[in-house]
Chains A and B, each alone.
Chain A
Amino acid sequence: MTAHILTPEELALLTLVQNELVPAYGDLPAAGTLGATLTVDAYLAEQPRLRRPLLTALRAIEVRSGKTPFAELDAGRRVEVLRQVENADPESFSELVKQTYNAYYTRPDVQASLGIDGPPQPMGFRLPAFDESRLARVRAMEKLWRDA
């Protein structure tokens, strides 16, 4: 079994939160369900400096949820809680959002949904050649530089 940085409870909460941050789209499930939670857990293992803001944001979400756990709130209330945490501690919350985006948009299936069929190399892109005739007006301009 792989050791996680986050506890099972924290992982479960993070999945729900990520599903609100980046909801399902077309055939793509929401970010947490798609696997962004475990990717973020791996980031926390590699970059310990991320642990504090992320854990702070998760704690704040639990606290703001009140007596009813976040998992049992309806969708509207979940978003309300997240907005409250975002306003109260924008720094930690924005790190949570950033790491969720990091985990989500580095997935080939998500990239494919945006029409990306692979990383930039080795294929690169073929772009049309430069067309010098487009410079006709500018070529006719007077010299724009001062000699000195």
Chain B
Amino acid sequence: MAAPELDSDVLIVGSGASGAAAAWSLSRRGLRVTCLEQGRWVDPSDYAHSRPDYELARQTSFAKDPNVRSWAEDYPINNSGTPIHPLMVNAVGGSTVHWSGHFPRMRPSDFRVKTLDGVADDWPFTYWDLEPYYDLNDSMVGVSGLAGDPGNPPRSPRQTPPLAFDAGCEAYLRGLEKLGWHWWPCDNALISEPFGENRSPCNCCGPCDIGCPIGAMSSAHVTYWPKALAQGVQLITHARVEQITVDRAGRATGALYYDDQGVRRSHTAGVVVMAANGVGTPRLLLNSTSARFPNGLANNSGVVGAYLMFHPVAFVSGVFEEVVNGQRGPIGGLMNCQEFYETDLARGFVRGFELQLSRSVGPLSVANGGILGHPVPWGSEHHEALRSRYAHTMTTSVMLEDLPEPENRVTLDPELTDAHGIPAPRVEYRAGENTQRMLEFSIARARELFEAAGAVEILVDPLVQESGWHLMGTCRMGDDPERSVINGWGQAHECPNLFVIDGSTFTTSAAVNPTSTIQAVALRCADWLGRNYRAVAA
């Protein structure tokens, strides 16, 4: 469809959650799509689940912090200015290669925080505009869960039923029923019954955070990629993009990248779509300077990289006298409590949070501090202490809405570079005052829940350092070009054939895991781009 001299109609940078969904959607319309991905396909033999030392993978080959994992495909991140470290995976499938697959949707109020609560900005569309794409995405990836939650708008039947209800759920339920709080079995991007090709249903083995070797987890490399490749998408792995190129008029022309031999190459396309995540995308745009865009591509407003949001997370663990076997079953997704989700100013803050009632880990990770970083003491008390926690612990993540603040940002580090000499990102972040107040309140509620549930010991990590799973807001959507980088279709205000579709698009963060929304947004943007390609690329 594009001029024949162009390498592709659409070039996508990044093959993760959003890039995979967009590649599938755009190629369905017959567009010639190429995706450049710096990582590789994860080899089935990489997974450690069949080895007795599988828990070591959390510290080495499958560590979630790229600075610790240090794969050749990773790039370093200067974290010295943030108490929360960005976490990600750089491989085909992106950060969904090892994640927890917790898959809640945002609520309608999450898209209207300015109108309803007078803070931050409204999104340029509503929940109801996005709903068909949530449904489409669920039907593509396969979700386990149950419709009918009074905490959320009605939704289509889930593809597979909710996961098991075991002793840990019973323990949580004791507390929830006593307190009369809301709960619901959460939507998970993993299948509990047969769904899709070459995938097995979850057999509750436990450590999803080091990947899923049987394809039960709905990661982008097992959901969208096989279909996108069958539709003719060209996926080039080990292709590290250095910058997006532009012509004199300031239109994107493609990208410069290093191939698997370290050779610098160029790829031309009618439209460039950024899907390199909330740190990788602003990094590349900031590195793409030109006479037209001296501060980085589409950044004459100075908004690229600004308004970074994480979900600041506290972990609260309850140790029970009875065996709850928290190490069995998917680590992340069990139940959600959204009792405190909507704004109630009497609590001393605006917006809200959810309690994500999750499981626990095996003996090695418990010894080294469990999910919380409280190591079991060494010496004569060691064995009794270990045995009181291992198989007796459940952990709740307190996940709260982070408001966008311009000072929280991704910039280019003046010295640090990756293996190809491309400037590394530097992350600056501090939790705002509203967040601090909400953290305090929410930790107290998680404690209350565990006390009501009869926990004999409660352990707290009030701000988890290794919790930068959710990278949002750094190329935010909006109608105002002074306060946003892209419009509601992902199109850059300053560069009409440049699109951003990943986690950096978020105007606000909501208080739920973002990936079902990231993929729904990517599908909505790709749908619009597919329908309007000729006009956009012309």
Residues of A bordering B, CB below 8 Å: 20-23, 25, 47, 79, 82, 94, 97-98, 100-102, 104-108, 110-111, 114-116, 118-132, 134-135, 137-139, 141-148
Contacts and interface: CB of A to CB of B under 8 A. Distances in A.
A124 B203 contact: yes
A137 B163 CA distance: 20
Closest 7 CB pairs of A and B: A124-B203, A127-B164, A120-B205, A106-B53, A105-B364, A121-B49, A148-B112
Contacts of B180: 137
B interface: dominant SS: loop
Given A20-B379, A127-B164, A146 B109 contact: yes
B365 to A, nearest CB: 9
A130 B185 contact: yes
B52 A127 contact: no
B162 A144 contact: no
A23 B382 contact: yes
A105 B49 CA distance: 15
B120 interface: no
B329 interface: yes
A106 B50 contact: no
Contacts of A97: 375, 378
Nearest to A96: B378
Contacts of A105: 55, 362-364, 367
Q: Which one of B151, B166, B375, B379 has the highest number of Cβ atoms from chain A below 10 Å of its Cβ?
A: B379
Given A21-B379, A79-B379, A125-B206, A144 B150 contact: yes
A143 B207 CA distance: 34
Given A119-B54, A145-B342, A127 B328 contact: yes
Contacts of B161: 129-130
Q: What's the interface size class on B, roughly?
A: 35 or more
Contact of A141 (B53, B107, B150, B378): B150
A118 to B, nearest CB: 8
B469 to A, nearest CB: 22
A131 to B, nearest CB: 5
A62 B51 CA distance: 36
B49 A120 contact: yes
B25 interface: no
Given A102-B364, A124-B203, A125-B205, A145 B375 contact: no
Interface of B: 47, 49-56, 59-60, 107-109, 111-112, 115-116, 126-127, 146, 148, 150-153, 161-166, 173, 177, 180, 182-185, 202-207, 213-214, 325, 328-329, 338-339, 341-342, 362-364, 367-368, 375-376, 378-380, 382-383, 387, 390-391
Given A108-B52, A146-B116, A116 B363 contact: yes
A146 B108 contact: yes
Nearest to A142: B150
Given A124-B203, A124-B204, A148-B115, A138 B150 contact: yes
Nearest to B384: A25
B184 A145 contact: no
B204 A127 contact: yes
A124 B367 contact: no
A106 B380 contact: no
Contacts of A129: 161, 164-165
B277 to A, nearest CB: 27
A118 B214 CA distance: 17
Contacts of A147: 108-109, 153
Given A114-B390, A125-B205, A144-B338, A22 B116 contact: no
B328 A125 contact: yes
Q: Tell me which of A123, A131, A141 has the highest count of chain B C-beta atoms within 10 A of its own C-beta.
A: A141
A128 B328 CA distance: 12
Given A105-B364, A127-B164, A148-B109, A132 B378 contact: no
A37 to B, nearest CB: 15
A91 to B, nearest CB: 13
A96 to B, nearest CB: 9
A18 B81 CA distance: 37
A126 B175 CA distance: 25
A21 B382 contact: yes
A139 B165 CA distance: 17
